Structure 1
Amino acid sequence: MSHPVIGIFGGTFNPVHVGHVRAAIEVAEALGLAAVEFVPAARPPHKGGEPLLDFALRLRLCRLALGDLPGFSVNAMEADRPGPSYTRDTLETLGRQRPDEEFCFILGMGDLLSLPTWKDGLNLGRLAHLAVHAREGLGLPHFRAFVAERAAAMGAVPTSEPAVWGLPGGRRLTYVPVSRLDVSSSDIRERWRRGGRIHGLVSEAVRHELDNHAAALRAGWGRPAPA
């Protein structure tokens, strides 16, 4: 019997927004994932200069964003890990702790293109399935070109499906087109700084929680412009 495949959606979620949630839903439906876990990074190694909210607040915002969405949850495993939050370490830990499950790491096209700069990034497909969703205006041709160029390093082999490559251990690397939502955490932070409205960019539960933590936002993102 095959093991259930759990989607792992990592990121800083600074803050989590509707684009994150919608992309995760569409990937889960396209691949038939048994569940999806959002895994906020406590100390993201690639975000050294980014103004970052406290981990506990980002964790709570993710829980509020998902609400009671069936099959979706937040995993706080990064909370107690020392040092930077490397995806390789996260996937290794999950595989060791939960041997009766398979995992599918969900990443954006921008993340795929930057994998060579990640810690052991091109070997992530030896630890989990990979699902790439495109929201940055880059599509299937860019996906195929990237993987073809690095196929040997990734252990990837083409299949009869243009959007699917085989990976070691019977895993798959899949391109999943999702609805394009031009929402980014950096844009939300900038709107907040200048006193703009972020309605519709984040869930109402997340927006209310951000309003309730104005002091934390001023410390983490900078003071918004006076009204």
Structure 2
Amino acid sequence: MWSFSTIRSAEIGILGGTFDPVHNGHLAAARQLLGVANLDQVWLMPNATPPHRTAAPVAPAEDRIRMVELAVAGHEGLLPSRIEVDRGGISYTIDTVRQLAREDPRQRFAFLIGSDAALQIRSWHDADALLDEGYFVIFNRPETALAPKTLRELGFAPARSRIVQLDTPAIAAHQVRDRVARGAPIDDLVPGAVADYIRTHKLYQV
């Protein structure tokens, strides 16, 4: 039976992404997931090379992980993770699932994915193994809510998946990059330390 409650499902959540750059929407989602998914920690994990994008990230991996480090500083329960950046290459989620299982087999990790990403799960690398070996918390937003029936049809097993509801600001990383390229302020989109880092390192400028 699918659960929409806050019953504990895992202790550590993995919120992956390009984070190019990390923005206030990412942080709002991570903070809410700590509570509604009843997690002890959420790790924000930038990928090295995203598998679903034809274009490479605009900012180098070291800059993206540094911005995540700055963004989560002072936020209890939110931590940066270098696992995929350090592994390098294309960041397939199944590889991360297996690496975490090898390194800490007693710890259960929940992969936190939005309903839009959940709809594409069958296109992910080694999807059958991923759905069999991974544990997922799928977060619905009001505009993109998925029904349990849809998730079952995609291959998410109720015993290895949970659904939670989030209400986060609609911010996209490309909005930040576009504003920087135009010389417009970004302080309402990203944490102050991230805005300072972008300016200091001249990221996303044309």
Contact 1:135 1:181 in 2 (8 A): no
Is there any run of 5+ residues in structure 1 with no aligned partner, and where?
157-164, 168-172
Task: Determine if the alignment matches structure 1 residue 55 to structure 2 residue 58.
Answer: no
Alignment of 1:115-194 (within 5 A): 115-135=121-141, 137-139=143-145, 142-151=146-155, 154=156, 156=157, 165-167=158-160, 173-194=161-182
Aligned CA distance change for structure 1 residues 192 and 149 (closer, same or farther; 3 Å):
same
Rounded to whole Å, the distance in 1 between the matches of 2:91 and 2:64 is 15
Q: Deviations over 1:93-145 (max 9, x none)?
A: 00111112100000111111111111023543433321112347111xx3424
Identity, in percent, stands at 30
Rounded to whole Å, the distance in 2 between the matches of 1:129 and 1:178 is 19
The equivalent position to 2:190 in structure 1, one of 202, 208, 218, is 202
Match of 2:79 in 1: 73
Alignment of 1:3-18 (within 5 A): 5-18=11-24
Rounded to whole Å, the distance in 1 between the matches of 2:28 and 2:139 is 11
Higher relative contact order (Cα pairs below 8 Å, separated by 6+ residues): 2
* Large movers: runs of 4+ above 4 Å: none
Rounded to whole Å, the distance in 1 between the matches of 2:77 and 2:28 is 14
Contact 1:95 1:127 in 2 (8 A): no
Contact 2:49 2:89 in 1 (8 A): yes
Rounded to whole Å, the distance in 2 between the matches of 1:136 and 1:93 is 33
Is there any run of 5+ residues in structure 2 with no aligned partner, and where?
1-7
Letter in 2 for 1:87: T
Contact 1:110 1:136 in 2 (8 A): no
Rounded to whole Å, the distance in 2 between the matches of 1:60 and 1:126 is 33
Total equivalences in the alignment: 199
Match of 2:5 in 1: none
Match of 2:93 in 1: 87
Aligned CA distance change for structure 1 residues 122 and 52 (closer, same or farther; 3 Å):
farther
Contact 2:114 2:138 in 1 (8 A): yes
Contact 2:28 2:168 in 1 (8 A): no
Tell me the CA shift for residue 198 of structure 1. Answer: 1.1
Contact 2:119 2:154 in 1 (8 A): no
Contact 2:10 2:110 in 1 (8 A): no
- SS of the equivalent of 1:137 reads helix
Tell me the CA shift for residue 200 of structure 1. Answer: 1.3
Match of 1:97 in 2: 103
